[in-house]
A and B are shown apart, each in its own frame.
Chain A
């Protein structure tokens, strides 16, 4: 029993790492007022960029950098549509997911089944994710820039009144979120399962979106949520004979519906940024 708890915790942390990384990024984007549903696509692009670069140069750290860049560029593209052009954020995110998955599947074809000589260790990235969670919590809660970011999501007019460009803040948050999603992708293709395969993200991006909500947009609660979701996934294989795997795998999504409903009833943790999902129009009264 003790062994079950311990091994489950370790595996939960491993599986939880990509969703924690991407989830932290999404928390930042959403805290600035922008929902980016393109996490899955950015993660796939990150995974491919990481693998392609690491495979051809033999330098996994360079692959990591490439993944961060790929995620950031994809997010910037999204920001052009969703922030500058004020397109519907949700639909723009869906478009980014389709595009990211499609592009990665297409351009990744030559890398399918290719071996990777130098990989990254799961443990070091797991530690990095935990440190990042702590650091991001600090930034968000205790620094000036954290305050600005949160204000952009709660009440963008005040940020504007402070003389700070709301668009710039949101761009920065969204691009940062993309970089984190890219990092999550790199974890998958360089450490978790060192390889490239179409569909390598297998819905993890959506779990990251769920995680942001489930953790009520709080970086430290995100750690707990990632562990919880990771444990569910691991147990779906571990307890295959005892529990229906599909039930365990569906739980993160069901929990999000539940959490959203409870917080709407005022009985659960709330904390959705006020201006979440609303494009900002300068000088316009709402």
Chain B
């Protein structure tokens, strides 16, 4: 009846969904309150700030479309992270995997001239593969040598960003770039269609929703998913049950990186139509996807909602810049505060439950 190691947290999380929801909401409210204080210190009325955000993102058609556009990469990468975290693969490298997806897709778009019907699927496939491989190295290092996956995935983000930098300054610099650092424009057949009147590249959106559904099905309805869950919830038990740790977690890592790679494909094929600076491709989606996954509490379908929520946060950065002349860094303040309160409150919840239980034992 004793609890084993730190994994009691997970167990406690799934147990009372109502309380998890209540605590998450409380954490978000606290984060917004803290952000309000920061706005006030900056000289902007928090009331005005939130009024503007709500009006311009939730109650404006184009504003909401922008939130949805930002939610696309967040959902793809976020679903991947949900899967990775469930399998105890601490992938902080979605940013780098996303960039690798963008690189691979750009490579196909610029150098492989296939018929349009083949070109885009080829780009997505290449992006999935590249993102997956970028996650594979840390996964192998973790599973075979016990190397800390947080640190390796994190470090590889920077390597990926410099890889993009090298490509756009060097071999892939566009002939039409006039000396700037970006590739040539993709041919029309390598760009994604948009929902008219918006910048929402709908094929990637569909793909993201499909990915959420498939990962949910895989986790809940397949033997492989069952194994991932056992490894995540109780690694000791997994060992007793002779679950092949390497194969199961490695596959989860591959898919996780691959989904982030797809997000990268969507950004270059749907938004930019060329390979360009790493920080212009991504705006930090790979890091924000960690919040998406954390908020979703291990549920791929939940990530649909949380990705949209974080998409609204990104869109509010635009709104506040335009209406209140505030720097886009506002989104980092939101991101940081939300994540901070979220992980702190999560432990508080667990702590409370744990006290009650130990009382019973005594």
Q: Do chains A and B touch in the complex (CB under 8 A)?
A: yes
Query: Which residues from chain A sit less than 8 Å from chain B, CB to CB?
Result: 35, 37, 41, 77, 80-81, 85-88, 90-92, 94-107, 109, 198, 203, 206, 209-210, 213, 244-247, 249-250, 253-254, 256-257, 260-261, 264-265, 277-279, 281, 286
Identify the interface centre among B90, B154, B155, B169: most chain A CB within 10 Å of its CB.
B155
In residues 1-30 of chain B, which contact A (Cβ within 8 Å)? Answer: 5-6
20 additional A-B residue pairs with CB within 8 Å, beyond A81-B343, A85-B348, A91-B343: A37-B154, A77-B340, A91-B294, A95-B339, A96-B336, A98-B332, A101-B332, A102-B333, A106-B327, A109-B326, A213-B151, A244-B166, A245-B169, A247-B162, A250-B162, A254-B159, A257-B156, A257-B159, A260-B151, A264-B145
In residues 132-156 of chain B, which contact A (Cβ within 8 Å)? Answer: 137-138, 141, 145-148, 150-152, 154-156
A95 contacts across to B, CB distance below 8 A? 335-337, 339-340, 343
Knowing A87-B346, A90-B90 touch, does A203 contact B158 (C-beta < 8 A)? yes
Interface check B331, CB cutoff 8 A: yes
Shortest Cβ distance from A104 into B: residue: B329
Question: From residue B72, how far is it (CB to closest CB) to chain A in Å?
Answer: 21
Q: Determine if B344 and A80 form an interchain contact, defined as CB atoms under 8 angstroms apart.
A: yes
Q: Determine if A97 and B150 form an interchain contact, defined as CB atoms under 8 angstroms apart.
A: no
B276 contacts across to A, CB distance below 8 A? none
Question: From residue B309, how far is it (CB to closest CB) to chain A in Å?
Answer: 16
B145 contacts across to A, CB distance below 8 A? 261, 264-265
B5 contacts across to A, CB distance below 8 A? 286
Shortest Cβ distance from B330 into A: residue: A106
Q: Determine if A87 and B166 form an interchain contact, defined as CB atoms under 8 angstroms apart.
A: no
In residues 317-362 of chain B, which contact A (Cβ within 8 Å)? Answer: 326-327, 329-337, 339-340, 343-344, 346-348, 351
Question: From residue B59, how far is it (CB to closest CB) to chain A in Å?
Answer: 25
Q: Determine if B347 and A249 form an interchain contact, defined as CB atoms under 8 angstroms apart.
A: no
List the 7 shortest-distance A-B pairs measured between CB atoms, nearest first. Answer: A99-B336, A102-B332, A105-B329, A98-B336, A102-B333, A95-B339, A250-B162
A109 contacts across to B, CB distance below 8 A? 42, 326-327
B287 contacts across to A, CB distance below 8 A? 94, 98
Knowing A95-B340, A99-B337, A253-B159 touch, does A106 contact B38 (C-beta < 8 A)? yes
A100 contacts across to B, CB distance below 8 A? 336
Question: From residue A5, how far is it (CB to closest CB) to chain B in Å?
Answer: 25
Question: From residue B242, how far is it (CB to closest CB) to chain A in Å?
Answer: 24
Shortest Cβ distance from A266 into B: residue: B145
Q: Determine if A260 and B141 form an interchain contact, defined as CB atoms under 8 angstroms apart.
A: yes
Interface check B99, CB cutoff 8 A: no
B166 contacts across to A, CB distance below 8 A? 244, 246-247
Q: Determine if A250 and B340 form an interchain contact, defined as CB atoms under 8 angstroms apart.
A: no
CA distance A85 to B347 in the complex (A): 6
B6 contacts across to A, CB distance below 8 A? 278-279, 281
Identify the interface centre among A100, A102, A213: most chain B CB within 10 Å of its CB.
A102
CA distance A39 to B329 in the complex (A): 18
Chain B interface category by residue count: 35 or more
Q: Determine if B340 and A96 form an interchain contact, defined as CB atoms under 8 angstroms apart.
A: yes
Q: Determine if A261 and B141 form an interchain contact, defined as CB atoms under 8 angstroms apart.
A: yes
Query: Which residues from chain B sit less than 8 Å from chain A, CB to CB?
Result: 5-6, 38, 41-42, 90, 92, 137-138, 141, 145-148, 150-152, 154-156, 158-159, 162-163, 165-166, 169-170, 287, 290, 294, 326-327, 329-337, 339-340, 343-344, 346-348, 351
B346 contacts across to A, CB distance below 8 A? 87
A92 contacts across to B, CB distance below 8 A? 340, 343-344
B331 contacts across to A, CB distance below 8 A? 102
Knowing A102-B333, A210-B155 touch, does A90 contact B92 (C-beta < 8 A)? yes
Question: From residue A168, how far is it (CB to closest CB) to chain B in Å?
Answer: 19
Shortest Cβ distance from A37 into B: residue: B154
Question: From residue B45, how far is it (CB to closest CB) to chain A in Å?
Answer: 15
Knowing A91-B290, A102-B333 touch, does A264 contact B327 (C-beta < 8 A)? no
Identify the interface centre among A103, A244, A247, A254: most chain B CB within 10 Å of its CB.
A103
B141 contacts across to A, CB distance below 8 A? 257, 260-261, 264
Q: Determine if B332 and A94 form an interchain contact, defined as CB atoms under 8 angstroms apart.
A: no
Shortest Cβ distance from B339 into A: residue: A95
CA distance A62 to B333 in the complex (A): 27
Contact of B42 among A35, A90, A106, A265 (CB under 8 A): A106
Q: Determine if A87 and B347 form an interchain contact, defined as CB atoms under 8 angstroms apart.
A: yes
A77 contacts across to B, CB distance below 8 A? 340
Q: Determine if B340 and A99 form an interchain contact, defined as CB atoms under 8 angstroms apart.
A: yes
Shortest Cβ distance from B43 into A: residue: A110
Contact of B339 among A91, A213, A264 (CB under 8 A): A91
Contact of B162 among A88, A249, A260 (CB under 8 A): A249
CA distance A38 to B278 in the complex (A): 21
Knowing A85-B347, A87-B347 touch, does A253 contact B336 (C-beta < 8 A)? no
